[in-house]
Amino acid sequence: MAGHEQHYTLPRPEFDKPVKLLIVVAPYYRDIADNLLAGARAEIEAAGGTHETVEVPGALEIPTAIGIAERMSNFDGYVALGCVIRGETTHYETVCNDSSRGITLLGLQGLCIGNGILTVENRKQAEVRADTNDQNKGGGAAAAALHLIALGRKWGAARRGVGFRPATDEYQVAGTGKDKTSA
């Protein structure tokens, strides 16, 4: 069983400038969500970061809320938290697949997101995974977001344009003191 295996955990990243994360949580199962939140908040605070939390109705709304926040706010990264427990219909697959796909697509656009949406067979599995003293998947999702933010900062800010950079006054012909546009 995976819960009893030893897993390697990357060292917590360190930051020169503070980080600010948005935690988006679907509290459909409130007790599970509260444990996920506790783990995520503790991990962010341990890294010296700050956070805000918003609630959405369900896991399907999490990617949309993150997309809105990215367009309209100033967060360095995001933590997606929720729980989907298998039921008697195929709705489980839809919610699991589409929420994950939405988060993945946002990540491929450059957003730093830790996915802590639990997808489990039963409540007991959810409780173990959300427990801050057991698998602590909320803390793990926050750690993933922090690591992605650290990578983004290491590699620099996003560049505008594709394949070239427009000339600026600082962009000069080597050794001439003239900028490229007048050379």
The verdict on whether 4 is a catalytic residue reads no
Contact 86, 121 (CB under 8 A): yes
Sign of the alpha-carbon dihedral angle for 65, 67, 68, 72: positive
Question: Cα–chain-centroid distance for residue 110?
Answer: 10
Rounding to the nearest 10 degrees, give the CA dihedral for residues 46, 49, 55, 61. Answer: -110
Segment (H or E) for 37: helix 30-46
Segment (H or E) for 117: strand 113-120
* Catalytic residue (one of 4, 7, 51, 91): 91
DSSP E strand boundaries for 17-90: 20-25, 50-55, 77-85
Backbone angles phi, psi at 25, to 5 degrees: -125, 140
Q: What would the two tokens of residue 78 be?
A: 């995001």
- Which residues are catalytically annotated? 91
